[in-house]
């Protein structure tokens, strides 16, 4: 047998996932692909979203019309905690041989594969299939290989790398769809059309179960929530923290905060700390976090409040505040710093 493994958050599963896996299944001649929703990606900030059982069922709905070629596995959801691929592979090796298993990853994950837990062991235990992703291309020459890979390559020929571990890496070019789960979540939250991006069964399931609607049960006052987030940023030495009430403007959110960090590392650290502080205080995660890997412009989306964290020099280029002139600025000051008397 040839058996594929494909993991992800599937929050939600979309046509990009379906296109990728059905293409890989045909080109590789897989007998079966295990689709594995994760419990928590250890390399990403946790996101708000449907309960595990909903993500699992949405995957079933997305691939329900493709017969027995796809199996939806709850192995990582049952395990709980942070989901490490090496643990899932070891579990599947109880049923399959190493030569039969193929881990399917996107070109973006291929570039950062050395950050995965026990990645060298993974290169021993499973074959790898790398697919294109929007904005990422598969390497065509030896010079384009990631640095971590060079010691493992024994031979290369016609889009296949033979590894010193006895395993192989195959590269597949897809007819990529410009879509991401984070963008889909925004569209769903705002009630915008999604039929081009979601399998019909998944779209119906989301509507039936009222998924991705902004819950105001835990945040009853978004102005106070905005002020809370501002104080968290002050606590992390953010620069020029400004808040805006945008309810009278036609924008994607009702409130916005913009702040600067002294470096890209500082900016990413502020985002991490903010997510943890909000989770502790309100027991919610953001709907999406973008840009945290680079740290130049990090966007933390809490629905009615969106927080923009810039490396200070980048902020000066975009001048977001100019777009919010018709909004009402919220006075933001560090409550822990004594105010000077006049």
DSSP tag of 17 = H
Say what the pLDDT of residue 341 is: 42
Say what the pLDDT of residue 276 is: 96
Angle, CA of 129, 130 and 132, to the nearest 5°:
145
DSSP tag of 169 = E
335, part of any domain: no
259, part of any domain: yes
Q: Could you give the dihedral angle defined by the CA atoms of residues 155, 156, 157 and 159, in that order, rounded to the nearest 10 degrees? A: 150
Regarding pTM above 0.85, the answer is no
Total count of domains within the chain: 2
- CATH code of the domain covering residue 245: 3.30.460.10
Q: Among 294, 291, 292, 16, which residue's Cα sits nearest to residue 133? A: 16
Residues 249 and 144 in one domain: no
195, part of any domain: no
Give the Å distances, CA to CA, from 15 to 181, 195, 219, 320. 10, 10, 32, 33
> What pLDDT tens digit does each residue of the chain (342 aa) get?
899 999 999 999 999 999 999 999 999 999 999 999 999 998 888 888 899 999 999 999 999 999 899 999 999 999 999 999 999 999 999 999 999 999 999 998 999 999 999 999 999 999 999 998 877 777 877 888 899 999 999 998 877 999 999 999 999 988 877 788 888 888 888 778 898 999 999 999 999 999 987 655 578 899 999 999 999 999 999 999 999 999 999 888 899 999 999 999 999 999 999 999 999 999 989 988 999 989 999 999 998 899 999 998 899 999 999 999 999 999 998 887 655 444
Q: Coil, strand, or helix at residue 61? A: helix
Domain boundary among 172, 202, 230: 172
Say what the pLDDT of residue 337 is: 66
Pairwise CA distance, residues 311 & 262, whole Å: 6
Range of the domain at 299: 222-330
200, part of any domain: no
Domain boundary among 140, 156, 172: 172
The DSSP element (H or E) to which 335 belongs, if any, is none
- CATH code of the domain covering residue 12: 3.40.50.620
Domain boundary among 114, 149, 172: 172
In a 13 Å sphere around the CA of 224, the CA atoms on its Cβ side amount to 6
């Amino acid at each position: 047998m040839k058996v594929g493994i494909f993991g992800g958050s599937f929050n939600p599963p979309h046509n990009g996932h379906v296109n990728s896996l059905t293409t890989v299944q045909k080109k590789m001649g897989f007998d079966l692909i295990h689709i594995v929703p994760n419990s928590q990606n250890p390399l990403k900030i946790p996101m708000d979203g449907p309960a595990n059982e909903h993500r699992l069922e949405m995957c079933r709905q997305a691939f329900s019309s493709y017969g027995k070629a796809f199996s939806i596995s709850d192995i990582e959801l049952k395990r709980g905690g942070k989901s490490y691929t090496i643990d899932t592979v070891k579990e599947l090796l109880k049923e399959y041989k190493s030569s039969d298993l193929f881990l399917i990853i996107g070109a973006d994950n291929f570039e950062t594969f050395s950050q995965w837990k026990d990645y060298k062991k993974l290169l021993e235990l499973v074959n790898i299939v790398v697919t294109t992703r929007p904005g990422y291309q598969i390497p065509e020459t030896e010079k384009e290989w990631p640095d971590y890979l060079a010691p493992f390559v024994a031979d290369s020929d016609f889009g296949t790398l033979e590894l010193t571990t006895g395993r192989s890496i195959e590269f597949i070019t897809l007819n990529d769809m410009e879509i991401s789960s984070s963008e889909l979540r925004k569209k769903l939250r705002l009630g915008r059309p999604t039929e081009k991006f979601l399998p019909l069964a998944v779209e119906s399931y989301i509507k039936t179960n009222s998924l991705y609607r902004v819950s105001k049960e835990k945040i009853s006052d978004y102005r106070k929530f905005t002020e809370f987030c501002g104080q968290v940023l002050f606590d992390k030495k953010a620069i020029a923290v400004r808040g805006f009430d945008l309810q009278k403007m036609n924008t994607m959110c009702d409130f916005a905060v913009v702040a600067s960090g002294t470096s890209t590392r500082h900016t990413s650290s502020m985002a991490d700390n903010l997510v943890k502080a909000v989770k502790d205080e309100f027991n919610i995660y953001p709907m999406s976090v973008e840009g945290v890997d680079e740290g130049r412009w990090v966007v933390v989306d809490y629905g009615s409040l969106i927080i923009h964290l810039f490396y200070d020099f980048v902020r000066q280029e975009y001048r977001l505040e100019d777009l919010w002139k018709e909004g009402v600025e919220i006075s933001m000051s560090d409550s822990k710093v004594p105010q000077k008397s006049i």
